[in-house]
């Protein structure tokens, strides 16, 4: 995908303020003084001229322009400024494959319906094949005066094969054409992102398999809560990614309807077969009016609908948030304060001034780029919120945020998978960290519940036990049985089977819990589902 060029703005100098600007005394030794001295009289002359436009003519030399394919009723060409401002070829040329695909399907249908001859259809096909070959070989010249990818291809086809190309746009508008191309592109983009999601899931499950039996502190409020198996923790991200893939698949199913044939907004009086083009392009069906009300309303929606784009970018934003949370956690865990993971040199960067630094930059950028993906969604939401039906030129602005969102999310998924396969968990450091925080407190409460004590009473007893540990600077398992019985006589010597992180893990048994058997079952499920060897 071509990178999207950023707009840049240049500050303007008010002509009414130039005199005071030039009245400053500049040193003659400054080399740029000569330039401004020459410019001053020119600007003053421009200010004094009644017709400023005429004065500026030599700054924007007029060149001969190709007649627009839509220019029959126009007597003047658009200005260069309008041409630059309204073109979209600089970014929508990435749709060329889908535009050619849609044109092939449309030409086949026109020939089948007798709206063009078989020989004309053959000429169109041969021309489109040659254009596609030239584009892929880098030999195709994209022209801004042809505005967009659709007009570039159609005009080039006309140059190549002549009159038959002029029939290709029969019963088709750029409105339904661009939506068809865009839906096809989004469909392919979703398929690509789902593959990236699966790759990251495989990387996380592989990382889990390498760390069987490792226990880490589980956190709530970023405070130590309970011990969990590292595999259990990593699979939480795999579950999130599965929901992400599900949202994309749902979006794909809803967008996979064909707008081709809706034309500008009301359809056509020509005998086209919309089911033929829909089937040829792999759509579920043509967009239609399911409630059998006036077909015109359905076509209005067909060319102005951007719900599928909003849904797509919403799904991408949720993926971005999930990846940002993963990035945040791994950045924290790579810090000296945690020290739980060590990224390999191949996924780390250094400091230009501090030679000792080793930074997990890829995951910091994953965290940062999530903001960009969310911004793309907000752009589209804002773009659509005030538009009347049906098509409005504002909707040309829908593509850059989508292209950017897909490119960014794709990179985030890819680098997250790369990072996952290039980190090491520091088991010795983790083991040293485990005793802190009284992670077995809830398991101790479960022990008391099994002894018949109401949970709220158990909660209070364990709270007082922890308070005793804090005063003695020790862990629950370090308390003697007499000390425990001073708080509650229910405690017996079997209590020590519930204390300590390892014992606590063994006591988890509910479905989906962090117990060893439950986690082993989940790992097996994902290994099978993801087809990991």
Active-site positions? 221, 351
Host H or E run for residue 258: strand 257-258
> C-alpha angle with apex 106: 69 to 285, nearest 5 degrees?
130
Q: Are 157 and 128 in contact (CB under 8 A)?
A: yes
Cis peptide before 420 (omega within 30 of 0): no
Which residue has 């089977």 as its token pair?
Answer: 497
Find out whether 120 and 111 touch, Cβ atoms under 8 Å.
yes
Question: Each residue of 77-113: b (16+ CB within 10 Å) or e?
Answer: bbeeeeeeeebbbebbbebbbbbbbbbbbbbbbbbee
- Residue 242 CB neighbours (<10 A): 16
**Cβ-contact 258, 298 below 8 angstroms:** no
Residue 129 CB contacts under 8 Å (≥ 6 apart), including other chains: none
Which SS3 state, helix, strand or coil, does residue 227 take?
strand
**Tokens of residue 11, six digits:** 């500050």
Q: Are the C-beta atoms of residues 299 and 355 closer than 8 Å to each other?
A: no
Give dist(CA 499, CA 528) in Å, integer: 34
């Amino acid at each position: 995908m071509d990178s999207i060029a950023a707009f840049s703005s240049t500050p303007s100098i008010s002509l009414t303020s130039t005199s005071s600007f030039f009245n400053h005394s500049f040193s003659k030794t400054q080399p740029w003084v000569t330039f401004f001295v020459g410019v001053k009289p020119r600007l003053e002359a421009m200010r004094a001229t009644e017709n400023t436009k005429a004065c500026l003519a030599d700054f924007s030399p007029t060149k001969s322009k190709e007649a627009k394919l839509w220019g029959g009723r126009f007597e003047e060409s658009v200005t260069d400024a309008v041409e630059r401002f309204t073109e979209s070829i600089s970014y929508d040329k990435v749709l060329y494959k889908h535009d050619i695909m849609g044109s092939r399907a449309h030409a086949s249908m026109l020939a089948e319906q007798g709206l063009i001859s078989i020989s004309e259809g053959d000429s169109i096909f041969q021309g489109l094949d040659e254009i596609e070959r030239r584009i892929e070989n880098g030999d195709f010249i994209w022209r801004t005066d042809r505005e967009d990818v659709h007009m570039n291809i159609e005009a080039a086809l006309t140059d190549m094969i002549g009159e038959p190309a002029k029939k290709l746009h029969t019963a088709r508008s750029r409105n339904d054409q661009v939506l068809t191309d865009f839906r096809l592109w989004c469909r392919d983009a979703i398929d690509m992102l789902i593959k990236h999601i699966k790759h990251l899931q495989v990387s996380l499950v592989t990382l889990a398999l390498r760390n069987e039996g490792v226990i880490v502190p589980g956190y709530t409020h970023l405070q130590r809560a309970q011990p969990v198996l590292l595999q259990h923790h990593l699979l939480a991200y795999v579950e999130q990614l599965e929901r992400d893939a599900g949202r994309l698949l749902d979006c794909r199913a809803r967008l996979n309807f064909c707008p081709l044939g809706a034309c500008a907004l009301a359809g056509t009086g020509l005998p086209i077969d919309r089911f033929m083009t829909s089937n040829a392009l792999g759509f579920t069906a043509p967009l239609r009016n399911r409630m059998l009300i006036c077909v015109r309303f359905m076509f209005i929606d067909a060319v102005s609908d951007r719900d599928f784009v909003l849904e797509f970018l919403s799904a991408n934003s949720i993926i971005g948030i999930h990846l940002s949370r993963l990035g945040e956690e791994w950045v924290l865990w790579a810090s000296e304060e945690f020290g739980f993971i060590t990224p390999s040199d191949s996924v780390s960067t250094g400091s230009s001034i501090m030679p000792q630094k080793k930074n997990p930059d890829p995951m910091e950028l994953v965290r940062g780029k999530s903001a960009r993906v969310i911004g793309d969604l907000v752009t589209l939401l804002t773009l659509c919120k005030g538009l009347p039906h049906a098509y409005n030129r504002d909707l040309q602005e829908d593509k850059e945020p989508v292209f950017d969102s897909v490119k960014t999310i794709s990179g985030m998924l890819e680098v997250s998978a790369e990072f996952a396969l290039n980190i090491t968990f520091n088991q010795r450091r983790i083991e040293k960290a485990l005793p802190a925080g009284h992670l077995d407190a809830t398991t101790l409460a479960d022990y008391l519940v099994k002894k018949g004590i109401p949970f709220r009473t158990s909660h209070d007893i364990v709270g007082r036990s922890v308070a005793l540990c804090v005063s003695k600077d020790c862990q629950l398992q370090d308390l003697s049985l007499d000390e425990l019985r001073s708080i509650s006589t229910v405690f017996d010597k079997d209590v020590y089977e519930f204390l300590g992180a390892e014992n606590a893990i063994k006591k988890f048994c509910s479905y989906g819990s962090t117990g060893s058997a439950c986690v082993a079952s989940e790992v097996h499920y994902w290994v099978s589902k993801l087809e990991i060897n």
